[in-house]
Amino acid sequence: MARPVVAIVGRPNVGKSTIFNRIIGDRLAIVEDKPGITRDRIYGVGEWNGKAFSVIDTGGIDLDNNDEIMQSVRAQAELAVQEADVIIFMVDVKSGITHADSEVAQMLFRSRKPVVLAVNKVDNDERMTDIYEFYSLGFGEPIALSGSHGIGIGDLLDAATELLPEDHSEEYADDVIRVALIGRPNVGKSSLVNAILGEERVIVSDVAGTTRDAIDTPFEHEGQRYVLIDTAGMRKRGKVYETTEKYSVLRAMKAIERADVVLVLINGEEGIIEQDKHIAGYAHEAGKASIFVVNKWDTVEKDDRTMQEFTNAVRDQFLFMTYAPVVYLSALTKSRLHKLLPVINYVSDQHAMRIQTHLLNDVVSDAVAITPPPSDKGKRLRINYVTQVATKPPTIICFVNDPQLMHFSYERYLENKIRAAFNFEGTPVRIFSRRKSEDG
């Protein structure tokens, strides 16, 4: 099920990143008192009144600045507006309505999207009277905020979540494996879709960013039904896209949310770059089954060590995803393509696997006997009981005497022991600690 999307939009330095951090409860965005510091959209997940939604923190839209970075920021903000279900339009009470605010307002009117007007930096009662001039922007009642003091955030979220669409349900049956293809531009996502389907259902081009929208393609193989979700590269608009090759991460995130299995495509010719790690990280954080697919392997000069060396590089670069198998193929020649679907089936099964409680407790008890938890200030962690509470991804709760004593390194040790016993290849395993209640 895809979450609805809220985009925070406004000119530079009105406090968008601070509000973003308040909404998601984390400090993912860079907060610095300097215009234009947020250059890429930042993504997170918020929840309010039982509604979960994705949040985008856009770079500031400076419509009077035509340098290349500002053009890129503006284009990314425009894309965020296109993808959003609800837009939070932020202005600054200290500055009043600027020319840039009016220009942004016109852009938002053209989008025909629901807009919530938020007036930031309203830190005292005197400034409350200054918010009324913002009625003239035409978005109804402004909501007064102070991002730095956390004032008005609840009112803002009430207004935004009220406008979110209700139904984002999927139409696919439970036995269908939904497979998302993600990766930076020109790694061969559309070519791989075509190779799997054996026909030209989507446009394939050497120009990065040709695919503009996510395309769902259902198909069946040996009795198993699948849906391929081909994520879009960012639409190219002029010189700035030719020079920066921005990747539409939002669309990848939306595809990831809807997927069971995520194929992280890597260009075998170019090797691994930093952007690959960012993209793969979204699949890991979303708790999806994942496979590294090294494409264009036919063009790589090889000897008997090349594949193992590349696999070692993948393991070194993606330390947080050592559970994900690596498949080498060529979408163009279909070399080794037959290996992909069996791996997709396998990791999908692992992602949905449930372990009986007594077996899980036996493994954890043995692990504790081999390596007892370290003590902290005279206190030692005691694990009373372990149970798996969810699948997709497998989620395990350890009932303990004090959750504060569960160090992340010991949690990793338990995960490794659980994987050694039950495999869980291709899927993250989430482990949480809860205090054992007094009544047991």
Segment 251-298, tens digit of pLDDT: 677 788 889 999 999 999 888 888 788 788 888 988 999 999 999 999
Beta strands in 285-429, from DSSP E residues, in sequence order: 289-295, 326-328, 375-376, 379-380, 383-390, 395-400
pLDDT tier, 349 (very low <50, low <70, confident <90, very high otherwise): very high
Is 34 annotated as ligand-binding?
Answer: no
| pTM listed for this prediction | 0.68
Is 371 marked within a binding site? no
Q: Per the annotation, does 189 bind a ligand?
A: yes
Confidence of residue 60 (pLDDT cuts 50, 70, 90): low
According to CATH, the superfamily of the domain at 357-435 is K homology (KH) domain (3.30.300.20)
In this structure, whether the domain defined by 177-348 belongs to CATH 3.40.50.300 is answered with yes
Is residue 295 annotated as involved in ligand binding?
A: yes
287 is in an annotated binding site: no
pLDDT of residue 91: 92
Residue 10, helix vs strand vs coil: coil
Q: Is 230 annotated as a binding residue?
A: yes
Burial label, 349 (beta-carbon count in 10 A; 0-12, 13-18, 19+): middle
Annotated ligand binding at 234? The verdict is yes
The answer to whether 253 is annotated as binding is no
Return d(Cα 243, Cα 257) in angstroms, integer: 30
Same fold, 177-348 and 357-435: no
pLDDT of 136 > 80? The answer is: yes
Element (H, E) at 434: strand 430-435
Is 17 annotated as belonging to a binding site?
yes
Give 362's contacts (C-beta < 8 A, 6+ positions apart): none
Q: Is 267 marked as a binding-site residue?
A: no
**51 is an annotated ligand-binding site residue:** no
The answer to whether 124 is annotated as binding is no
CA distance 194 to 391: 31
Q: What angle do CA 201, 206, 207 make, to 5 degrees?
A: 105
Percent of the chain with pLDDT strictly greater than 70: 80
Q: Is 231 assigned a ligand-binding role in the annotation?
A: yes
Has 260 been labeled as part of a binding site? Answer: no
Query: For residue 179, what is the DSSP state?
Result: E
- Answer whether residue 412 shows pLDDT above 50: yes
The reply, when asked if residue 186 is annotated as ligand binding, is: yes
Q: Is the pLDDT of residue 40 over 50?
A: no
Separation of alpha carbons 179 and 325, rounded Å = 15
Q: Give the pLDDT score at 147.
A: 82
Assign domain 5-162 to its CATH superfamily: P-loop containing nucleotide triphosphate hydrolases (3.40.50.300)
Domain boundaries, the chain: 5-162, 177-348, 357-435
At 183-241, the pLDDT tens digits run 877 788 888 988 988 865 544 444 444 444 456 788 888 889 898 886 654 333 333 33
As given in the structure block, the two tokens for residue 52 are 């979960």
- Asked if residues 343 and 325 have their Cβ atoms less than 8 Å apart, the reply is yes
